[in-house]
Every structure is written in C-alpha cells, then in structure tokens.
Amino acid sequence: MTRARAREFRTGTVALYAALVVFGALSLLPLLWMLSASFMAQGEATTFPPALLPRNPTLVHYRDLFGRLALGRYAMNSALVATVTTIGALAINASAGYAFAKLRFRGRDATFRAMAAGLAIPVQVAMLPLFLLIKSLGLVNNYGGVIIPGLSSIFGIFLVRQYALAIPDDLLDAARIDGASEFRVFRSIVLPTIQPVLATLALWTFLATWNDFMWPLIVLSDDAKYTLPVALAGLVGEHAQDVELMMAGAVITVLPVLILFLMLQRYYVEGVTEGSVK
C-alpha cells in the first residue's frame, strides 16, 4: 500500500467512525434522556439549560407509578394480552403456514393467493365493523376483544410457510409410511424442524402486541383493563407537566421489549429479512 493510499484509508476510517458516533448518538439520545430524566427530582427536567443527568437520582417516580398510579396493573394486563396472543398465534399460524407449504389440498394455491392480496388492505378498513362484531359478541372492554382478532396473521402464515418450504418431503413421507397421522407428523417432525422460525414469530407477535395502541384503545373502555400504552397515553393527559414521572412511565413500557429484543436479536432480524423477501 502506498503512503497516499494508507492516508486515504486512515482518514476514511476516521470519517467512518465519526459518522458512526453521530448516528449512534442520535439513535440512543432520546432513549438515554428518557432513562436519565426518569431519575430526576420533580421539575429538574424543565430547567434551562436542560439537565442531562440527575443531580440526586431518585426512584420516587417509579414508586409513585407503581403505588399511587397502579402502573403495575397495566403492565400485568399488557403481559397477559401479549402472552396469550403469542401462544395462540404460534399454534394457529404455524399449522397454517406448514399446510400451505407442504400439504396438498384442493384450492390451496388459490386460497393462498387471495390471502396475499388481503395483505394490501389496511387494517383500519376492517376496524369499524370489527368493533361492532366485538360488541355483539360482548367482548368490548374484554381482553378477548383485544386478543382474538390478533391471533391469526397473514404475515405470520407467510413467515412460517417460507421456512417450511425447505423441509424435505422425504422426511415427512418416511414418517407417514411408518403410520404416523398427519397431526403426529406435524407435532413430532415439523415443529422441531421449524423451531427457529417459531421463535421469530413468537418474538414479533409479542412485541407487536405489547406495543399496539389503536385497537386496545378502541376496545378497552374501563380504566382498570388498559394495557400499558393506552394507560400511558391517558396518563400524559393528566400529568403532562410531570415530565420526570412520564419518563419513568415510558421506561417501564419500553424496557421489557428492549430487553427481549436484545436477548433474542438474531430471531428478530431474521423475521425482517425473511419477511421482506417473501
């Protein structure tokens, strides 16, 4: 390498890392400030110049949220809704995705194409009649009304199908010749084989349900039943001035999903790349 080339390489690397630091700081700053402000004393975040770090870190807002404002209950609601949706979605979408990939039945491809076309329809179009349906089933202000419409997802079926296409037919046929029922084949051969995509599907469903806002906002009317995002949006109406308190609430809402993502990153990323290729 000539000296000029080496210098060009070095300045390039410096520029690269500088860009990385700027980009990274912009990504993290809002989240770091949220965390920092949540430990500030009341009023400390509304000073000029803005405080970046708490002078005397305090947990008073967390205590307030879990005590007086019962945020723990909303966290439990969110956890319940997201967990039940995830378990149901796994069972329902895994079996459908597998069948669309590997089982032959009349009308399969036409059904699948119709479903793919359905992906283009925005969910908001269905929302108004869906609300009336939920209401006539007596599921307004009921977790069932939040959970049931989210159980089956076209995206989830796509994801599993894509993965299941790679299962060798011989493997399945061998089990069938040994006398295994289709259900048995699914349970003892297919499910273990597609485990990675199930992890992806579970993670996506859990995070999407935990983060969802519009549908729970519509279905849940009783304060005590709110999920975290709905409760938080309500809280900011009454406590808009209590910046530090609101930041603690935001931390409680965001932290579980961030931790989950950091632990299971690999599966999440696979979902994005698989889903985009289709």
Q: Which is nearer to other proteins, 73 or 102 (CB)?
A: 102
192 lies in the binding site for other proteins (CB under 8 A): no
Q: Which is nearer to other proteins, 42 or 46 (CB)?
A: 46
> What whole-number distance in Å separates Cα of residue 137 and Cα of residue 133?
6
211 lies in the binding site for other proteins (CB under 8 A): yes
Both structure tokens of 95: 């079996």
53 lies in the binding site for other proteins (CB under 8 A): no
DSSP 246: H
Which residues 6+ apart lie within 8 Å of 251 measured at CB? 34, 35, 38
Both structure tokens of 59: 């947990």
Which residues 6+ apart lie within 8 Å of 224 measured at CB? 73
Among 6, 11, 28, 196, binds other proteins (CB under 8 A): 28
> What whole-number distance in Å separates Cα of residue 249 and Cα of residue 194?
37
Count of residues that bind other proteins according to CB under 8 A: 101
Distance in Å, CB of 29 to other proteins, minimum: 7
- Measured from the Cβ of residue 277, the count of other Cβ atoms closer than 10 Å reads 7
Both structure tokens of 239: 């406590």
Distance in Å, CB of 43 to other proteins, minimum: 10
Phi, psi of 174 (to 5 degrees): -60, -45
Binding to other proteins in span 249-268, by CB under 8 A: 249-250, 253-254, 257-258, 261-262, 265, 268
Contact assessment for residue 247 and residue 39, using Cβ atoms and an 8 Å cutoff: no
The residue assigned the tokens 């869906």 is 130
Coil, helix or strand at residue 103: coil
196 lies in the binding site for other proteins (CB under 8 A): no
Distance in Å, CB of 68 to other proteins, minimum: 19
Q: Which is nearer to other proteins, 23 or 166 (CB)?
A: 23
Which residues 6+ apart lie within 8 Å of 190 measured at CB? 98, 102, 164, 167, 172
Among 214, 223, 224, 263, binds other proteins (CB under 8 A): 214
Binding to other proteins in span 83-102, by CB under 8 A: 91-93, 95-96, 98-100
Coil, helix or strand at residue 53: coil
Distance in Å, CB of 261 to other proteins, minimum: 4
Q: Which is nearer to other proteins, 70 or 144 (CB)?
A: 144
195 lies in the binding site for other proteins (CB under 8 A): no
Distance in Å, CB of 121 to other proteins, minimum: 6
Distance in Å, CB of 276 to other proteins, minimum: 5
Distance in Å, CB of 47 to other proteins, minimum: 7
> What whole-number distance in Å separates Cα of residue 99 and Cα of residue 106?
12
Binding to other proteins in span 99-158, by CB under 8 A: 99-100, 103-106, 108, 111, 115, 118, 120-133, 135, 148-149, 151-152, 154, 157
